[in-house]
Structure 1
Amino acid sequence: MTEPKNLRYTVIESTADGGSVFADAEIPLADRTLAVGVPAMAVGGMPSATGVSYLRSAGFDSEPHPAPARQWVVMLRGAIEVITSDGKRRRFAPGDLVLAADTEGRGHTTVAVGEPPFEALFIPTAS
């Protein structure tokens, strides 16, 4: 087995003044054998609740909005740019992982970039 790794992701958080900001975080990964005969793989937990949603959209341009629930956004296809209320921008593409946690206040703006469609999984968190 190899040394544990970390999976980086972005959190969009609410601020005390009702705005939003980006924060960087990591999920610890550890090599585990999940089934006999399968090589060990890097595995990490993503706390979640029920109700995973798949979303496909030709466009995803939005007005400023808070996240409807604290949820993981797993980018599958296309790309989006998220702008937090402090004016910072980050682009997310397939394979990127975002925790949308700004459920109060002004929230953030989301804009589709690149070729449509945009596809993602939305996974509500347990906490």
Structure 2
Amino acid sequence: MRCIRLWTDAEGISRFEEGRIALKDGGTVNFLSDKFSTKSISFAETKAGESLQWHNAPAKQFVITLRGTLDFWNKVDEHVVITPGDILLAEDVTGPGHSWKLIGDDPWRRAYVILETDGDLAFIKN
């Protein structure tokens, strides 16, 4: 599963790195991740064509895109495209943050999974 980690570096800039969530053999036909400690889950939808200017993640969270394609940017003009099925691990709770814009005609449907801050998230950088 593709996972994009978004965090704040030592200079205060939000950064992206591509990786995946570690999966282990779960028997028969499954590969499973570890279980993560969570605080809550919620769902949101944003209509096509929308964008959100500079902001931080309100909490350490997984943002799981169910529908829609987005272009995420940081303050040093780096960007990453998020597509359905991608997991964004948003950890940039400080600094100038990131912005995003929806690409195409689909709305952005997503699940926000707020994480406990001290858990291991099994992110593996590519």
Please, which of 26, 34, 46 is the counterpart of residue 45 of structure 1?
34
SS in 1 for 2:99: strand
Matched, 1:21 2:19: no
The 1:57/1:46 distance shift into structure 2, 3 A limit, reads: farther
Q: Is 1:97 aligned with 2:91? A: no
Where in structure 2 are the equivalents of 1:65-84 lying within 5 Å? 65-84=55-74
Relative to its length, the structure with more strand (as a share) is 2
Aligned-CA RMSD value: 1.6
Structure 1 segments, 4+ long, off by >4 Å, are: none
The Cα shift of 1:55 comes to 0.7
Distance 2:36 2:17 in 1: 18
Q: Distance in 2 between matches of 1:115 and 1:68?
A: 27
Q: Which structure has the larger Rg?
A: 1
Which is bigger in relative contact order (C-alpha 8 A, separation at least 6)? Answer: 2
- Which segments of 5 or more consecutive residues in structure 1 lack a partner in the other structure? 1-6, 34-38
Identity %: 26
Task: In structure 2, list runs of 5 or more residues that go unmatched.
Answer: 118-126
The residue type paired with residue 23 of structure 1 is E
SS of the residue corresponding to residue 54 of structure 1 reads: strand
Q: What is the aligned residue count?
A: 116
